[in-house]
Amino acid sequence: MKRRGQSCPFSYALVSAARLQDDSVGIGLIFKARDRSTTKKISQALAHSDVDTATYEALRIALEEAIAGGGGSLTFYVDNPRVVQQLTGAAKVPPAVLGANLQVRALMNEAGAVTVIPVTRTRAFSACKVAERAVVTASPTVREYVTPKLPLVLEDASV
């Protein structure tokens, strides 16, 4: 459910899935604010998954973050061109990922104005590096980046 009057803490996300050496697939998400500062990183390795299914899972997580933050106008940069083509209707969706595709499309509608853009330089894509460092765990590894705002006026303790 969207929170009224609250803006999403990020305006775009970098989304990646990469095959790992232990036959699992790592997902990496980097959430960025309008000023390009990183607000959050999420990584997780998924056992018994393929790259396309893992990409859909990463998009699902990113979209749920967006919806929890209030949604809005968001851009997702994705390094899996097959999934981007499937989401934009440029390619047929294979039966193996049809359920995941429909779930992500429904979340895109709920989140607001979502644009999915393919990334062509995947070797230098920072979300791919996060995905490659993922480990198999029951829940994703989340790292939040909070910049505390200090008060401009300090109270006088002698008053």
pLDDT of residue 88: 92
The pLDDT tens digits for 45-66 are 888 889 999 999 999 999 998 8
Mean pLDDT value of segment 3-14: 70
* Per-residue pLDDT at 136: 65
**Mean per-residue pLDDT, 76-91:** 94
Strands 112-118 and 72-78: parallel
The CATH code for residues 12-144 is 3.30.420.10
Domain ranges for the chain: 12-144
Across the range 14-33, mean pLDDT stands at 87
By the 8 A CB rule, do 117 and 17 touch? no
pLDDT score of 86 more than 80: yes
pLDDT at 133 over 60: yes
What average pLDDT does the segment 95-106 reach? 95
Q: Ramachandran region of residue 15, left (φ > 0), alpha (ψ -120 to 50) or beta?
A: beta
Residues, the chain, total?
A: 159
CA–CA gap between residue 96 and residue 144 (Å, rounded): 33
Residue type, 140: P
Burial (CB count <10 Å: 0-12, 13-18, 19+), residue 76: buried
Is residue 149 scored above 60 in pLDDT?
A: no
